[in-house]
Structure 1
């Protein structure tokens, strides 16, 4: 295998660092710990790491401290500015990362930032892979995430034992392509969530049994992974987050309002469906529901139809 790494990825030889231990990140760390890897985590609020520490995780005092003792560092953060601060600041990960080490950013972030991080990492003799994921909290817990990897193909191959614990990785191209793939994924997910929300609202107004309706259509063209993951939750009003609604506004905005990509000559496409999805998720945030799961989009359609609960 033609990679710059002479040492294979194994639980006995590879030290993992992780920053971002929320609903998704915490579940992903748990899987790595269960596979026997030595994992060090950093949390601004150390109490949030207690559950992972009980599973064997170690706690770092700072991102730089974590970087010093890691061969591969994963980040799973909220927004691109968070990634920039944690990775590129004077006291960030790259300031202390050992040569030959790699940063894997699982955040849904900006393609241009991923390219910037890749270039900065190479200048230090390190590597960076942008590898956002899809599959929600269930996929994270079950190790069935779809992982979209951008960067050096050899490095992605080298990291494949770790990706295999978390889900199924697809190499999608050079630095930034992983993030672009995730944005396109979110455009499709947003449209599916909107269609499912409207289908459920219409079915309810037509006095159909919602569970029966979903069972009857999920095997046809209307069926989707979105329906599998979120249909029952919508019916049961279970809006606990696998991914926050406010993050969908961010993700869709990177596709709909991507002025930075236009300035780099990449162009901006017209996405009327994504623009509508973004507007509706923004309404959910305006209603005070930004921290609910994306399946809570149905609440916006219900409000429009005076069906608020």
Structure 2
């Protein structure tokens, strides 16, 4: 079974993760708040997305590599274009951003409340 992976946040950490996933022949969808980073990553084999929601809609696992808690909240919780709006049943959201334990609890509760086997992992780097 092919694993579909999403990466949101294409700074140094997110881009390196994307490159590694592509090298291992995973299908990778990407999005960043800066469109030029999405376009550049598309040139190395990732599938560019128009929103965080779109990444979540096509991914079994979604990695977040965002710079701060405000960015994480915005990207995950936006009711129209956020990750949570598109997170598939049975998928996993892995947050590699460095943020507070309170944010991790907030996101875990939000993901769990969606039900259908959706899971959240706090994995700050």
What SS does the corresponding residue of 2:7 show, helix, strand or coil? strand
Deviation for aligned residue 1:13: 1.9
Cα distance in 2 between the residues matched to 1:130 and 1:38: 23
After superposition, the CA RMSD in angstroms is 1.2
User: TM (normalized to structure 2)?
Assistant: 0.91
**Greater helix share, 1 or 2?**
1
* 1:94 and 2:84 are equivalent in the alignment: yes
Larger RCO (alpha carbons 8 Å, 6+ apart): 2
Cα distance in 2 between the residues matched to 1:117 and 1:66: 17
User: TM (normalized to structure 1)?
Assistant: 0.38
Deviation for aligned residue 1:89: 2.1
Cα distance in 1 between the residues matched to 2:72 and 2:34: 17
Residue 114 of structure 2: aligned partner: 124
Stretches of structure 1 lacking an aligned partner (at least 5 in a row): 1-11, 134-309
- Residue-by-residue CA offset, 1:104-149 (whole Å, 9 max, x unaligned): 000001111101111111111210001112xxxxxxxxxxxxxxxx
What SS does the corresponding residue of 1:18 show, helix, strand or coil? strand
Residue 109 of structure 1: aligned partner: 99
Runs of 4+ in 1 over 3 A off after TM superposition: none
Q: Report the structure number with the largest CA radius of gyration.
A: 1
Residue 77 of structure 1: aligned partner: 66
Q: How does 1:154-303 map to 2 (within 5 A)?
A: none
Would you say the 8 A contact 2:84–2:111 is kept in 1?
A: yes
Cα distance in 1 between the residues matched to 2:43 and 2:55: 18
Deviation for aligned residue 1:67: 1.1
Stretches of structure 2 lacking an aligned partner (at least 5 in a row): none
What SS does the corresponding residue of 2:29 show, helix, strand or coil? strand
Q: Give aligned pairs, total.
A: 122
Deviation for aligned residue 1:69: 0.8
**Greater strand share, 1 or 2?**
2
